[in-house]
Amino acid sequence: MADAGRHPNIRILTNTEVVDIEGRPGAFTVTLQKHPRFVEEDLCTGCRTCQSFCPVLMPNPFDEGLGEARAISVWCPQAVPAVAYVDRERCLHFQGKCGICLTVCKNNAVNFQQKRKRGKVNVGAIVITAGYEVFKPLKGPYGYGEFKNVVTSIEYERITNSTGPTGGEILRRSDYRVPHKIAWIQCVGSRDLKFGRSYCSAFCCTYAIKQALVTKDHHPDIETVIFHNDIRTFGKGFEDLFNRALSRGVRFVRSRPPLLRENPENGNIIVSYVAQDRLIREEFDMVVLSVGVVPAPGNRDLGRILGLEVNEHGFFEIHPFYPLEGADGKGIYVGGNSVFPMDIPDTICSSGAAAATAAELLASQRGSLAVKKQYPPERSVEGEEPRIGVFVCHCGTNIAGVVDVREVVQYVKGLKDVVYAENQLISCSNEGLRRITNLIRERGLNRVVVAACTPRTHEQIFREALREAGLNPYLLEMVNIREHCSWVHSMDKKEATEKAKELLRMAVSRARDLAPLKEPSLKVNPRALVLGGGLAGMTASLSLARQGFEVYLVERERELGGNLRHLHYTLEGGDPQKLLQKLRQRVEDEERIRLYLGYELLDFSGYVGNFKSVLVPVGGDGDQVEIEHGALIIATGGKPLEPSEYHYGESERVLTQLELERMMATTGIPEGIRTVVMIQCVESRNEKRPYCSRICCGEAVKNGLKLKETRPDLKVVVLYRDMRTYGFFEDYYRKAREKGVLFLPYDPERKPEVELEGDGFKVRWWVPTLGQDFELVADLLVLSVPVVPDGNRELAQRLGLPSTREGFFMEAHPKLRPVDFGTDGIFLCGMAHYPKYISETIAQAKTAALRAAVLLSQEEIRGSGAVCEVIEGLCIGCGACIEACTYGAIRLIEVKGGKKAQVNPVICRGDGLCSARCPTGAIRLNHFTDEQIMDQVDALFEA
């Protein structure tokens, strides 16, 4: 959020809705309506002084109404923009009283005269990520709203959060005691036709497990029980989470107990259910309802305005092969939970892909409206004595209410080299910043210390002020006397003032040593190499090509298509073969794509923006090809496991799901076959492959439906552990049951046994629901085998990239950076990342292309000045630093005196690990030099 808020090319319009749209793709005029928030956004600094004076107490909407808020407040600690708003319903001013905020706001930002405004914006494309709401189980048997200790999972999330209403202490609501026993009930408002929500909300299982684990982190002795009907941890790494929860004693009960009762004596919640044929009445101190996804209420209206269709669930309708384009979607792209319930990484991919598609449309105009700021030439401070200016911010009353700011300023004025010091009401306000810039010029300051809030959000803002005065931005030093001082020592004003003085003394001391730094830059080669010509590779290549970049697409096989070649149907009724043909055609027709069919990667070197790859024909015959490119996208895919169980290979009547699909699409099911048994999770979710392959449940449902469609007389039995048909796939699961496909669970401890018998099989297994052994004579056995990595490990080694235990590539961050690597310039998509459906693969591939395009569209990339630097004379070329670096920023180069380390400053992130490792102290971390830090530390003990 903060990144988006700070970005010069992103204009954020909050409290705003779309009223009308006209025009065509590439040239829309959108009429917007902005509702008043009664605070001027460009004047408010988010200091929250108004909030501390406001007399109106109201339930805090950010805390789900659990905590308290004021009628004027900043929505939440990390709100973007960090601007206050007025709750019109509660504010006393609108009842003719109060108005204290008007007087306490030092920046005159409060404006009760604000009116609703309409305006028009001209845009080329529109991306809709209207999000979702959570289900409120207000009416229904769960007792929510009636029993205090029944809370929704979102409320529980706030209860466990350190910024939440209980300060992060888990307390139940009836008596503010720490609960000993908590139950989660899954599927509240999901998979429930009674609430009109037939779909699965996809991420509740995972978040419930997370919450149970977080609870265990808070208090390991709290007993946690999750009531569920299928645990659906289908995402990457989620099965691990599930197993971790099991090993930490989280209890999982396959039973749905919707009727809750309250014990009137202690407020405990009684859950009654049957397990192992026993009636169990369990008392819990607290029950958390795992509430599901509800489409954003405005979807229908928005759909009407934009001409998009909304499906029967209230989400925007999409075609699975064009998962970003609404029904009529040229120029308007939809993503995230507006189209399908999804978790964070899927949302990033889905919305990223929507942005990528918009970028394809607008490629010809790229950069034409981008804002670039002009600064005066930089003044050299070399040889000057330090002339330090100090600015101490009141931050409204945030700081000044505790710390005696004037006393601090007086004190600072007495410090060595400080030529100017003053206190400011709000330093980050436009006025405050202008004053800093002017004073630098007037007083000839060459070092600036700002004592205010956190550099995390504000350093960039003050650095700008320096640059506008012609000063190198690295000559700024920030001291956080809000979070680190006034907020945490609000009860002891005197000591807080002393601490502020000490912090400033240290800062001044460090500022004295600050040196101007140059930000390094690198040229970028605007071409991309895509490894893998399956669905992901083709999609990514096409997206990049349409965005105007040249692409080298390398495929090991002699033809394009990868796994898509083996798919003949989809759940939704699409034809993957048509999609394949279309994509192939487009790839072949695209001038900007150079195809290397039958090639593989031999060698890879270089760094972000400047990679060099060597390709060789598979099998080794033919010439090597050397390619230079700025980005690399890995889309090498996966493959179905060849099973070693269940007589696979011994009988031609044992098939994998893909083989069954091929049989149905080509020869059809042989006449003599009457009974088909499918076994799920064959050789996955076990010790050896402890992950869920995500797509097999949908595949079994798809093939089961297809079997019933072509041969209604067939008996189709699916033996499963948990049916993981998440999102709208749940509807197909229900449809399959309606059509008579039998889904029967099996216990992983007692796996189904299969004996060959004549042409067929005898399948024996134990059905937990009935507690009885079953035997069935089957004519066809279909195994749902997992997707396994396809040669990833060797490739990962060659590229120096990490991979997971299972052999899939490991992205930079499983949640927040699902297509990036720690190494810049390399991106990931498709089944090389994890098994996924067609629509998900397309989305991820487009997102990878977008991330690559962000890099390739820059002529040069700039790094930070605060990076490591090798002092060549001291380096002995031992290479210890190379191992320490996680970004691959260091390499050894040959110089006259032997090998020396060299840091690529653009790749370096300035974490200083190498500097700490270097045995000779040959690596200096600029901006955090030993000298600067030691002086700062010394200053602490000076007084």
Partner 1 sequence: MVPDILVWISLAAFLGGIGWKVWGWFKGSLRREGGWGRLGAALRGIYGTILSRKVLVLLKALLLDVVLQLRTYREDRYRWLMHLLLYWGFGLLIITHALGKVLIEGYVSTAMPFLFLRDLFGAMALVGASMAAGRRLRGIPRFRSAPMDVYAIVVVALILLSGFLLKGVRITSYRAYLGMVSEYAALSEEEGRALEAYWVRNFGLVSPNIREVPEELVSEGAEVHEFSCASCHASPRWAFLSYGISKAVRPLARPLDRFGVPGGLRWFHVLLCLFALAILPFTKFFHLISVPLSLLLNAVIDPRRSSPLNLETKRMVELDACVHCGTCTAKCAVSATTEVIPNRAILPSEKIPSLKTLASGKPLGDEGLREILEGVYLCTNCLRCTVSCPSGIDLQELWFEAREALLQRGLVDPVLLTPFSFYRGLRREDVGEGYQRPILSLRERISRAFGPPVEPLSIGPPEVLDLSSDAQTFRVCFSCQTCTNVCPVVSQYERPKEVLGLLPHQIMRACALGLREMALGAPMLWMCLTCYQCQELCPQGVNVTDVLIELRGLMVKALKEGRDEVRPVSGM
Q: Is 773 in the site for partner 1 (CB under 8 A)?
A: yes
Residue 708 binds to partner 1 (criterion: CB under 8 A): no
Alpha-carbon distance of 382 to 446, in angstroms, equals 10
Residue 142 or residue 821: which is nearer to partner 1 going by CB? 142
Contact in structure between 197 and 135 (CB atoms under 8 Å): yes
Structure tokens at 834: 């994890």
Tokens 């961050």: give the residue.
813
CB 319 within 8 Å of CB 109? no
What's the min distance (Å) between Cβ of 707 and partner 1? 15
Cα–Cα distance for residue pair 736/742, rounded to 1 Å = 8
Burial of 626 (0-12, 13-18, 19+ CB in 10 A): exposed
Question: What number of chain residues touch partner 1 (CB under 8 A)?
Answer: 43
- As a whole number of angstroms, the distance between CA 931 and CA 647 comes to 70
The one-letter code for the residue type at 361 is L
Smaller CB separation from partner 1, 33 or 229: 229
- Distance of closest approach, residue 745 Cβ to partner 1, in angstroms: 7
**How many other CB atoms are there within 10 angstroms of residue 895's CB atom?**
12
| Torsion sign (Cα): 912, 914, 920, 925 | negative
Distance CA 343, CA 237 (A): 13
Structural element, H or E, at residue 51: helix 49-53
For residue 495, the minimal CB distance to partner 1 (Å) is 58
Among 150, 717, 754, 842, binds partner 1 (CB under 8 A): 717
Nearer to partner 1, 150 or 801 (CB): 150
Nearby residues of 51 by Cβ (< 8 Å), 6 or more positions away: 70, 72, 73, 74, 84
How many whole angstroms separate alpha carbon 782 and alpha carbon 928? Answer: 62
The separation between CA 251 and the C-alpha centre of its own chain, rounded to angstroms, equals 28
Q: Does residue 256 touch partner 1 according to CB under 8 A? A: yes
Taking CB under 8 A as the binding criterion, the range among 192-200, 444-452, 795-803, 887-895 that sits at the site for partner 1 is: 192-200
Give min distance, CB of 725 to partner 1, in A.
10
Residue from 770, 794, 894, 942 in contact with partner 1 (CB under 8 A): 770
* Residue closer to partner 1 (CB basis): 568 or 734: 734
Q: Is 193 in the site for partner 1 (CB under 8 A)?
A: yes
- Can you tell me which of 52, 255, 803, 929 binds partner 1, judged by CB under 8 A? 255
Decide whether 191 or 629 has the Cβ nearer to partner 1: 191
Between 287 and 635, name the residue whose CB sits nearer to partner 1: 287
Q: Taking CB under 8 A as the rule, does residue 774 contact partner 1?
A: yes
Instruction: For partner 1, give the closer residue by CB, 187 or 296.
Output: 187
Task: Indicate the residue among 278 and 896 with the shorter CB distance to partner 1.
Answer: 278
Of 529, 535, 781, the C-alpha closest to 650 is: 781
Candidate ranges 193-201, 236-244, 587-595, 835-843; the one touching partner 1 (CB under 8 A): 193-201
Contact status, residue 726 vs residue 187, Cβ threshold 8 Å:
no
Question: Does residue number 254 form part of the binding site for partner 1 (CB under 8 A)?
Answer: yes
Contact region with partner 1 (CB under 8 A), list: 274-282, 788-796, 800-808, 812-820: 274-282
Q: How far is the CB of 228 from partner 1 (least distance, A)?
A: 9
Contacts of 614 (CB under 8 A, 6+ apart): 601, 602, 603, 604, 624, 625, 626, 627
Alpha helices in 63-106 (DSSP H): 100-104
Told to check if 609 binds partner 1 by CB under 8 A, we report no
Q: Identify the DSSP state of 473.
A: G
Cα–Cα distance measured from residue 84 to residue 502, given in angstroms and rounded to the nearest whole number: 32
259, 895, 934, 940: residue in contact with partner 1 (rule CB under 8 A) = 259
Site for partner 1 contains 704 (CB under 8 A): no
Footprint (CB under 8 A) of partner 1, residues 364-403: none
Q: Does 779 bind partner 1 (CB under 8 A)?
A: no
**Which of 13, 274 has the CB closer to partner 1?**
274
Residue type, 832: A
| 10-18, 93-101, 147-155, 731-739 -> range binding partner 1 (CB under 8 A) | 731-739
Residues in the chain: 943
Q: What is the DSSP string of 497-561?
A: HHHHHHHHHHHHHHHHH----PPPEEE---EEEEE--BHHHHHHHHHHHHTT-EEEEEESSSSSB
Told to check if 755 binds partner 1 by CB under 8 A, we report: no
Query: Candidates 106-114, 266-274, 472-480, 609-617 — which segment interacts with partner 1 by CB under 8 A?
Result: 266-274
**Closest CB to partner 1 among 38 and 234?**
234
With CB under 8 A as the contact rule, which of the stretches 189-197, 286-294, 337-345, 659-667 interacts with partner 1?
A: 189-197
Shortest distance, position 538 Cβ to partner 1, whole Å = 37
740 lines the binding site for partner 1 (CB under 8 A): yes
User: Of the ranges 405-413, 573-581, 736-744, 870-878, which one interacts with partner 1 (CB under 8 A)?
Assistant: 736-744
**Chosen residue from 70, 191, 751, 833 binding partner 1 by CB under 8 A:** 191
Least distance to partner 1 from the beta carbon of 913, Å? Answer: 51
Which residue of 115, 116, 139, 194 would you call a contact of partner 1, by CB under 8 A? 194
Q: Is 745 in the site for partner 1 (CB under 8 A)?
A: yes
Could you tell me the smallest distance in angstroms from the CB atom of residue 776 to partner 1?
Answer: 6
Regarding 322 and contact with partner 1 (CB under 8 A), the answer is no
Q: How far is CA 92 from CA 71, 97, 378, 787, in A?
A: 8, 5, 51, 61
Please give the structure tokens belonging to residue 155.
């409320």
Contact between 769 and partner 1 (CB under 8 A)?
A: yes
How many helices (H) and strands (E) are present in the chain, helices listed first? 22, 49
Contact predicate 228/187, CB 8 Å: yes
Instruction: Closer to partner 1 by CB, 726 or 743: give it.
Output: 743
Are 165 and 158 within 8 A, CB to CB?
Answer: yes
Nearer to partner 1, 194 or 558 (CB): 194
Least distance in Å: CB of 654 to partner 1?
A: 20
Query: Any contact of residue 284 with partner 1 (CB under 8 A)?
Result: no
Alpha-carbon span 230 to 191, nearest angstrom: 11
Question: Is there binding between residue 2 and partner 1 (CB under 8 A)?
Answer: no
SS3 assignment for 394-413? CCCCCCCCCCCHHHHHHHHH
User: Which is closer to partner 1, CB of 200 or CB of 332?
Assistant: 200
Least distance in angstroms from the C-beta of 148 to partner 1? 22
Phi, psi of 907 (to 5 degrees): -80, -30
Please give the residues from 201 up to 230 whose contact with partner 1 meets the rule CB under 8 A.
229-230
Binding mask 104-143 for partner 1 (x = CB under 8 A): -------------------------------------x--
- 887 and 909 in contact (C-beta within 8 Å)? yes
Phi-psi region of 76 (alpha: psi -120 to 50; beta: other; left: phi over 0): beta
- Binding residues (CB under 8 A) for partner 1: these are 141, 187, 191-195, 229-230, 254-259, 272-274, 277-279, 715, 717, 723, 733-734, 737-738, 740, 742-745, 764, 767, 769-770, 772-777
